[in-house]
Structure 1
Amino acid sequence: MSNAPIPNLTPQGVTQLYNHSSDTNIKPTPTLQIINIKKVSGSASSNANNERYRVVLSDGQCYIQGMLATQINYMITDGTLVENCVVQVMDFITNLVQGRTVVILLNARPKGKQGYKIGNPVDVSTAATAAASSSNKQGNSNYNNTTTNNNNGAKPMYNQQRQQYNNNGNNNRPNNMYARPQAVASNVSPQNRYASNSYNNQNNNSFGGGGGTHTSNPHGNNTLYTPISQLNIYMSKWTIRARVTNKGPIKTWSNAKGEGRLFSLDLLDDSGTDIRATFFKEAVDRFYDLMMLNHVYTISGGKLKVANMQWNTCKSGFEITCDVNTEIHEVKDDGRIQRNVYEFIDDIAALETSCEVNGNADLLAVVKSVGPVGTVTSKRTQQELFKCDLTLVDQSNTSVNLTVWGEEAKTAASKYDRTPIVAVKKVRVSDYGGRSLGTSSGTNIVLDPRGEDVGVQRLETLKSWWRNQGSNVSHSVKSISGSAGGGGRMVSFEDRKPIRAIKDENMGGNSASMDNKPDWLTVKACFTFLKKDKEGGPWYTACGNADEPCKNRPKATMTTEGTWHCDKCNRAMPNCVRRFIFSACITDDTSTSWVSIFNEQAEMLLGEGITADMLYERCFEGSEQEMFESVFNKANFTDWVLKCRVKSEMVGDEQRVKTSVVNLMPVDYVQESRDMLAAINKM
């Protein structure tokens, strides 16, 4: 076999694929020739999306069997890939099937159509056997010449190589360019993995079917563990040993196929790769209470599929679907698997310069403050969702808002009240208000993380900054969650705007265009007039159904029978619920503006315990008209910080800019004075 380079093809390119180890993140991208393409026959019911193609890749000297991943089948059907064409392998994985190495071609770049087969290649595994035999003969000769205990019967070749390889303490691979990456012990550190005995286990594919490289069990039984980094959809049997780093709540789902429950876990093993596992229906009842955060388990019997990267933030390109037949056992935590693997950004300020919008980020920060718990209604499910904003700061003297949801929002005030340091993993970066962060199903927030998990130096730097500077009430930080954001989030003192900005900046003008997006304004203002004299009262009659889909929100009208009918749920209720809705005038030193006030904001403005139903019963049905006047008069000429949505709407045939209050809080005069002094000092 000639050693001269083959024109257009990468010398020993097939050998590079054959010898590639998943322990390295660097994959070769050789230029090879496809010398054979064959469609694999499937079931009669299979469709075009499930067709499979077998290919043979050659570098002119050796060839190797391969399969096309289904996502590039189109390259066959459109004629891009034909026999004897030349391609550059852009991405691949290797798999052991029935004792033979097979390359799964995930992506390829066409380089031209040769028209004939280059060279006279031989099977790379045959070449590997020949090279290994030659190497072993030489090794056996050396062994026989040096041993003082030479038996008449020659020792097996693999024993000689094993003894020689282990005794010399060499951490490098055997000097054999055809050597396959072999099983490695999971208790060996990544940098010393190749020091492990390559021949300790002659049956690398003891599970059969999909095969693959496995990590041996450190506990001494016969179970082999597959590194998560080596899982792929072509493996039929596997077992992983992993730590639960994130556990989501039980959720319900419903579609055309039925309905049920599910929950998801993020699993991390000692290869440093994590993977999402989702449990459905009966598996939820069986495993939800069993799977505990930070505990270590062995898992086998799940179904592997390609990960939906829109929702899955794990490193693995695959995810596991588990059912009641999945085998899960808790094992002793020997400390080899980390609590979490973080990829921290430099600091919060880097969110503006180094992080893509809608991407994910890990950061270490201090929870400076916790906002009030609010609610929003999901447009898709019409369910009421709880949310809360945390203000995170770090040594870059920058703050950002992180929105948490559900139970995390309900408990945020007590959980983060002592300004703890948090390690936040996989938060979604948004431009919803400058830069802001939001949690998702893959987000993990760890309070007071350990130095060994996040880096001792990084943790000590943040602690020192907070102790010496950040915790000082007069210390000013820049917020990157600016006033463009919505959802009721209050911005910093520096990012407030005057009322005149509504006209000066043409706020609401963009919402008249096709994007229909509102503008947002945070302002400190005084209420000078509350329009309470609407016929029937400053409220509307809402549906009495407190459950889905109404939640006491849609308008209800009285029928001739004296009941209250709701078009949303199409039900007639004996009673309605009254909810505030009225207009008010606000003013500051630059201008005035009319704003709309809705129920939640009106109840905060009018005072605790004041509801529309209470005022109606006591003042309209009762005789306490003076109380009605005093409640509204008391709210006049009070100072508030208001978050407003400014949007252009059609009123009749006229386009008008409408300003609505979505959040408000009374002015904290002590903090306001400090903020003003800090602003003066910067001038």
Structure 2
Amino acid sequence: MPVNLTPNAIASINGGDMNSKPLVQVMDIKLIGSTQERYRFLISDSVSTQHAMLATQLNDRVKTGQVKKGSVVQLIEYICSTVQNRKIIVVLNMETIILDCEIIGNPKMFTESASTTQRAIPNGNPEHPVQINNFGAPNPSTFNAPKPSTYNAPNPGTFSTPNSTTRTPNTGTFRAANSGTFRAPYPGNNVQSFRPTVQPSYQPPPNYRNHGPILKNEAPARIIPIAALNPYQGRWAIKARVTAKGDLRRYNNARGDGKVFSFDLLDSDGGEIRVTCFNAIVDRFYDVIEVGKVYLISKGSLKPAQKNFNHLKNEWEIFLEATSTVDLCPEEDGSIPTQQFSFRPISEIENAENNSILDVIGIVISVNPSVPILRKNGMETQRRILNLKDRSGRSIELTLWGDFCSKEGQKLQEMVDVGFFPVLAVKAGKVNDFSGKSIGTISSTQLFINPEFPEARDLREWFDRGGKDTASMSISREMLAAGSKNEIRKTVAQIKDEGLGRSEKPDWITVRAFITFIKSDTFCYTACPLMIGDRQCNKKVTQSGNRWECNRCNQEFEECDYRYLLQAQIQDETGLTWVTAFQESGEEIMGCPAKELYVLKYELQDDIKFGDIIRSRVFNQYLFRLKIKEEMYGDEQRVKITVIKADQLNYSSESRYLLDLISKLKR
């Protein structure tokens, strides 16, 4: 069937028309790109052709044969960008109108010089010439000339009028400076002189320097919503508030060492996006970015968001570059909210997918002490577990990691210890489904204690009116200590009776016990203070004259470190056992650094003061976090019990734990 492509569609798009939704024909399709598949089209309006790039989300149209060479398509969404000094049309959305069609017309490659054509008005009146641009509309430079005057030209050659008008011989065509092209009759040497309206020269705005032609990229980019961002835009700017800022992280891969940090943005339309900086860009912007401030950001590149690490509802992520700009907005923009939540009731989290990211709000009903955890990379971090409940009749464990334990976690524990149960809003918590559902913090998580917004006020009113006495069922794993595996309560006798530590993996338990004896002759050792990478060596060193020597590092140094190697006997109502406490847990038990005791005993030889310190630690009651593992000593297997953390007993928290245990036994 006959097909009419949209006239002048290619020229119109190059001229800035992005709304006409033209019909064009696909003349050629070529697959390009080595790392990411991209399709390049050659499209035609029957007169001109132009290269176009297909958005990656439309690749399946080509792969499934929905569009092919010769297809007539309608461009629904598209932009025209300059790539390597030439324009290219980026197709964001399109519809196939005719799948198979013969090539229409004899189109030629579109050029800028051919974008302007000359047309006369239909009646051909020479006294009212008009220039028609390639969009089919009168050119702004077209004008109606007043009644002309005449004069005799000395010869039919080319000449200039006083108004900078030139004539080409025998054509009757005049060209006026700063005006369009017009035609006039040519009656020999008597010609009509038209006085065109001269366009004023362009004056740059005051905020640009007057240094010649204004470069394209000097004008400020137009501010657009975050939701409108796509990687095919040449220039853009967004105005948004920083809602979260990640920690500065260092990494090592095949390309070498590096550093990275990210921050999240929210604009007045509710759009969110993550911004990531690497290496030298980190140095420029890490100290500049502050949570809660509004910034104007431009000249970054957009790449697909890595959903394993990025929970925001945006398929793109901004990567700042050397040319990027981040400018703090001096005035507060009240149209941009400070934070955006999408709270899920705890009862719904029970069906949430593992590793999904969500927001939750609840009342903190219990907080466990912080405990050290050894990561797979050998680094140590802190972990603290608390419990949340809401009006859905369910409760859930929230695991705090790293700095959350000592900042918000410590504040929450202090509140609960005095009998006040705060409201806690969790932004971007990660779901874990190991033995039930729980939530953990990640680098982009934010915690808000007793926040001032409606959901928090409603939850507080419900709890105070009787919600605190409402029974709730935990959707997390049921452990005696309401925590994870290294908070499982055991007695001293159970360590031996249950054969703890004799499996392939160590057992982690919590024991409430007294210290009954501390060995005072071998309470510490001299350690190497040198750093190996980002960790201290800590190997035992020997003294050689006035210097210390480390066999591992093969170096000598004047000062060594002193680290606890404390051996103590602990006892509860069921029995007693020996345990070993190293540096951190040793300081928690003794209340002072190992070097201080070493100086008292071996340098000052103050046995009285040294003895007083040792005796002051005996018969104190602690909550010991123990690691139990069978190890080989010579030819003999022995169970080694190591103190990971020693917290002096908090009677308020312990009483609540016992009451909670009683209530569970009564169910």
TM above 0.5, yes or no, is yes
Q: Is the 8 A contact 1:543 1:550 kept in 2?
A: no
Match of 2:464 in 1: 467
Match of 1:508 in 2: 501
1:318 aligns with 2:320: no
2-structure distance, mates of 1:567, 1:227: 62
Q: Give 3-state SS (helix, strand or coil) of 2:444's partner.
A: coil
Match of 1:658 in 2: 640
1:637 to partner: Cα distance: 4.0
1:361 to partner: Cα distance: 2.6
1:579 to partner: Cα distance: 1.8
1:586 aligns with 2:570: yes
Q: Is the 8 A contact 2:58 2:93 kept in 1?
A: no
Q: Is the 8 A contact 2:55 2:91 kept in 1?
A: no
Q: Give 3-state SS (helix, strand or coil) of 2:309's partner.
A: coil
Report the TM-score when normalising by structure 2. Answer: 0.61
2-structure distance, mates of 1:427, 1:624: 53
1:576 aligns with 2:560: yes
Q: Aligned partner of 2:489: which letter? A: R
Query: Structure 2 regions of 5+ residues with no counterpart?
Result: 3-17, 44-50, 69-75, 82-87, 105-134, 138-218, 416-420
1:663 to partner: Cα distance: 1.6
Q: Give 3-state SS (helix, strand or coil) of 1:49's partner.
A: coil
Q: Give 3-state SS (helix, strand or coil) of 1:232's partner.
A: coil
1:519 aligns with 2:507: yes
1:398 aligns with 2:395: yes
Mark the CA change 1:545 to 1:301 in structure 2 (over 3 Å): closer, same or farther: same
Match of 2:79 in 1: 96
2-structure distance, mates of 1:548, 1:681: 50
Q: Aligned partner of 1:663: which letter? A: K
Match of 2:430 in 1: 428
Q: Aligned partner of 1:345: which letter? A: R
Q: Aligned partner of 1:662: which letter? A: I
Q: Aligned partner of 1:523: which letter? A: V
* Residues 57-101 of structure 1: per-residue CA shift (max 9 Å, x gap): 9xxxxxx9874749989x99xxx867999xxxxxxx965346967
* Residues 317-344 of structure 1: per-residue CA shift (max 9 Å, x gap): 2211113422334456554443333232
1:646 to partner: Cα distance: 2.7
- Residue in structure 2 matching 1:232, options 230, 246, 250: 230
Counting aligned pairs with the same residue, the percent is 30
* Residues 552-601 of structure 1: per-residue CA shift (max 9 Å, x gap): x6123215344223356553222322222244443444454443322322
2-structure distance, mates of 1:248, 1:681: 41
Match of 1:169 in 2: none
Mark the CA change 1:652 to 1:626 in structure 2 (over 3 Å): closer, same or farther: same
Q: Aligned partner of 1:543: which letter? A: C
Mark the CA change 1:522 to 1:545 in structure 2 (over 3 Å): closer, same or farther: same
* Residues 196-239 of structure 1: per-residue CA shift (max 9 Å, x gap): xxxxxxxxxxxxxxxxxxxxxxxxx9964444334333443333
Q: Is the 8 A contact 2:221 2:236 kept in 1?
A: no
Q: Aligned partner of 1:363: which letter? A: V
1:371 to partner: Cα distance: 6.2
- Residue in structure 1 matching 2:522, options 529, 533, 537: 537
Mark the CA change 1:369 to 1:669 in structure 2 (over 3 Å): closer, same or farther: closer
Match of 1:343 in 2: 342
2-structure distance, mates of 1:408, 1:526: 26
Q: Is the 8 A contact 2:422 2:450 kept in 1?
A: yes
Provide the alpha-carbon RMSD of the alignment: 5.1
1:644 to partner: Cα distance: 1.7
Q: Is the 8 A contact 1:433 1:484 kept in 2?
A: no
Q: Give 3-state SS (helix, strand or coil) of 2:541's partner.
A: strand
1-structure distance, mates of 2:633, 2:480: 25
1:39 aligns with 2:27: no
Q: Give 3-state SS (helix, strand or coil) of 2:457's partner.
A: helix
2-structure distance, mates of 1:633, 1:376: 30
Work out which of the two has the higher radius of gyration on C-alpha atoms and give 1 or 2.
2
Match of 2:579 in 1: 595
Mark the CA change 1:277 to 1:602 in structure 2 (over 3 Å): closer, same or farther: same
Match of 2:264 in 1: 266
Which one is further off, 404-413 or 652-661?
404-413
1-structure distance, mates of 2:571, 2:261: 50
In the TM superposition, what are the counterparts of 1:606-625 in structure 2 within 5 Å?
A: 606=590, 608-609=591-592, 611-625=593-607
2-structure distance, mates of 1:543, 1:487: 36
1:463 to partner: Cα distance: 0.5
2-structure distance, mates of 1:52, 1:643: 56
* Residues 358-391 of structure 1: per-residue CA shift (max 9 Å, x gap): 33231113455666666667664x7775666665
Query: Structure 1 regions of 5+ residues with no counterpart?
Result: 3-17, 22-34, 58-63, 86-92, 106-116, 124-155, 159-220
1:466 to partner: Cα distance: 3.6
1:103 to partner: Cα distance: 4.8
Match of 2:300 in 1: 302
Q: Is the 8 A contact 2:525 2:565 kept in 1?
A: yes
- Residue in structure 1 matching 2:291, options 267, 278, 293: 293
Match of 2:358 in 1: 361
Q: Aligned partner of 2:300: which letter? A: G
Mark the CA change 1:69 to 1:271 in structure 2 (over 3 Å): closer, same or farther: same
Q: Aligned partner of 2:555: which letter? A: R
Match of 2:38 in 1: 52
Match of 1:644 in 2: 626
2-structure distance, mates of 1:334, 1:629: 64
Match of 1:152 in 2: none
Q: Give 3-state SS (helix, strand or coil) of 2:296's partner.
A: strand
Q: Aligned partner of 1:541: which letter? A: T
1-structure distance, mates of 2:426, 2:632: 43
Mark the CA change 1:36 to 1:591 in structure 2 (over 3 Å): closer, same or farther: farther
2-structure distance, mates of 1:40, 1:275: 30
* Residues 268-319 of structure 1: per-residue CA shift (max 9 Å, x gap): 2345342111234554454445444233333221011222333322222221
Mark the CA change 1:666 to 1:329 in structure 2 (over 3 Å): closer, same or farther: closer
Q: Is the 8 A contact 2:244 2:263 kept in 1?
A: yes
Which one is further off, 395-404 or 299-308?
395-404
2-structure distance, mates of 1:484, 1:577: 40
Q: Give 3-state SS (helix, strand or coil) of 2:39's partner.
A: strand
Match of 2:157 in 1: none
* Larger helix share, 1 or 2: 1
Mark the CA change 1:649 to 1:588 in structure 2 (over 3 Å): closer, same or farther: same
Match of 1:557 in 2: 541
Q: Give 3-state SS (helix, strand or coil) of 1:338's partner.
A: coil
Mark the CA change 1:409 to 1:433 in structure 2 (over 3 Å): closer, same or farther: farther
1:50 to partner: Cα distance: 4.8
Q: Give 3-state SS (helix, strand or coil) of 1:442's partner.
A: coil
Mark the CA change 1:83 to 1:575 in structure 2 (over 3 Å): closer, same or farther: same
* Residues 153-183 of structure 1: per-residue CA shift (max 9 Å, x gap): xxx999xxxxxxxxxxxxxxxxxxxxxxxxx
1-structure distance, mates of 2:577, 2:485: 21
Q: Give 3-state SS (helix, strand or coil) of 2:565's partner.
A: strand
1:267 to partner: Cα distance: 1.0
1-structure distance, mates of 2:494, 2:77: 61
In the TM superposition, what are the counterparts of 1:139-154 in structure 2 within 5 Å?
A: none
2-structure distance, mates of 1:369, 1:679: 13
Q: Give 3-state SS (helix, strand or coil) of 1:646's partner.
A: strand
Aligned length: 508
Match of 2:446 in 1: 444
Q: Aligned partner of 1:243: which letter? A: R
Mark the CA change 1:612 to 1:489 in structure 2 (over 3 Å): closer, same or farther: farther
1:266 to partner: Cα distance: 0.2
Q: Give 3-state SS (helix, strand or coil) of 1:39's partner.
A: strand
Which one is further off, 665-674 or 239-248?
665-674
